[in-house]
Structure 1
Amino acid sequence: MSITSEEINGKHAGPVSKQRGNRTTRVPEILEVAIRVFAREGNAGFTQRRVAADAGVRLSTLQHYFGSRESLLQSTIEEMGKRYLQRFRLLANDPQRTPEGRLEALLDETFDALTGSDNVISPFALEVWCLAEHQSSVRDLMVQVSGDFQEVFGRVVAEINPALAHSECRLRGALIYSHWQGLIVFMRRSGQNAPDVVAFRSATKVVWKALSNASQ
């Protein structure tokens, strides 16, 4: 999934004053930039002032919509989770694909995002997971997001292998999701030990399909 913003892609020399907007247009613009600031600068560098500057809006304007740094951070994390959850649900429910085709589409979406030049998922996710260790509101949000993603994978498993009990589908959905989380870390940190991406993608499809198709 591509998340673009002219303000942070080098298309101007500095912040540009934008025309006055309303909540419907302004909040998504601010969150778009906030996602990238958090991914690029981490929690330590995530400030309202930095987001406002990168978004080309006055600090007072940003604070009108997000009264505190904590409010902006929470909304930013929620927005990132919502975007990818919506995308995964669309792929998981695609009537033009077979159940196995939907699982492949979820994996392809993952690899495309993690190997793309504009990858924000990996740094964003790693920062959020670290933050969740020390901040209860983020930890609670991650529990909710984790459950939602496990449900998506579990439902696809149930469609691929309808003979499985509901509890078994949930378990395998959790296994695939845990592997999905592991991919985020591994592909970010493996460096020179990273395998060939094409071969690694193909092998991962084999693993996911095997988890889905195996009998109980």
Structure 2
Amino acid sequence: MKSAKGKKRAEEILDAATQILVEEGYGGFSMRRVAEALSMRLSNVQYYFGGPGELLSALFDRALERSIAAFKSRPAQGSLEDLIRFILDEQQPQDYCLMFWELWALAARDEEINAVMARYYAQYQKQIEYVLSKAVPGLAPGARRRRAVLIMSLMEGLSLFRGVEGRLDIPARQLDKDVVEAVTRIAAG
């Protein structure tokens, strides 16, 4: 188990890696670049994260953990509508969307990154399935999995438009209302 100082240093590395990925894209992302941003030696970064795949894996694991923790800490977090509104809120900061767009592009060409993405979306899907099990209690497990994938796909596709100002000529508030309605219909079948 890492010491408090070690955990803090790992978090600093993840913060720097996130910032580089968002600001410079994967083209500017490297272990060396992360070390430079922190005025550290490359070997120090490699001590915490063996390579770029391990670093990216930790970065996206942390993003998922933070999202799930933030969702669970909300006062009203049990309903499907709560989950959808939470995801819509998470799509507002452009940085969050940029990070995932970079992952999608990388996953198309890199098996290790594709595995990171697959693990991330498996956890995301499980969270949606859990909420669906409460929202539609009699739904068969197979149907619940399929609907969770449909909902996840809708939400992730929306991030392509919601994550950048000016991509949509639709009032965000109305779109959010329509999304909640569409997801509710998907859930109900």
For the superposition of Structure 1 and Structure 2, which TM-score range results when normalised by the shorter chain?
A: 0.7 to 0.9
Name the counterpart of 1:108: 85
Q: 1:135 aligns with which of 107, 110, 132?
A: 110
Unaligned runs of 5+ in 1: 1-20
Query: How many residues in Structure 1 have an aligned counterpart in Structure 2?
Result: 185
CA separation of 1:137 and 1:181: change in aligned 2, threshold 3 A: same
SS at match of 2:47: helix
> Please, which of 56, 63, 69 is the counterpart of residue 73 of structure 1?
56
Kindly report the root-mean-square deviation, in angstroms, between the aligned alpha carbons of the 2 structures. Answer: 2.4
In the alignment, the residues of structure 2 paired with residue 213 and residue 70 of structure 1 have an alpha-carbon distance, to the nearest angstrom, of 39
Give the alignment of 1:162-177 within 5 angstroms: 162-177=137-152
Q: Which residue of 2 aligns with 1:204?
A: 179
Gap change, CA 1:165 and 1:71, over 3 Å in 2? closer
Q: Which position in structure 2 is the counterpart of 1:213?
A: 188
* Deviations, residues 53-82 of structure 1 (Å, cap 9, x unaligned): 433x42243343234444433332333233
2:100 alignment counterpart? 125
> What TM-score do the two structures reach when normalised by structure 1?
0.74
Shift in alpha-carbon separation, 1:63–1:28, aligned structure 2, 3 A: same
Following superposition, the deviation at residue 29 of structure 1 comes to 1.6
Q: Is the 8 A contact 1:48 1:59 kept in 2?
A: no
Q: TM-score, normalised to structure 2's length?
A: 0.83
d(CA) in 2 for partners of 1:126 and 1:187? 12
Give the structure with the higher percent helix.
2
Larger CA Rg, structure 1 vs 2:
1
Distance 1:24 1:172, change over 3 A: same
Structure-2 change in CA distance of 1:106 and 1:98 (3 Å): closer
Question: Judging changes above 3 Å, is the alpha-carbon distance between structure 1 residues 189 and 120 closer, same or farther for their aligned structure 2 residues?
Answer: closer
Query: Which residue of structure 1 aligns with residue 154 of structure 2?
Result: 179
Q: Does 1:149 align with 2:124?
A: yes
1:98 to partner: Cα distance: 7.3
> How far did residue 123 of structure 1 move?
0.7
Gaps of 5+ in 2: none
Distance 1:144 1:168, change over 3 A: same
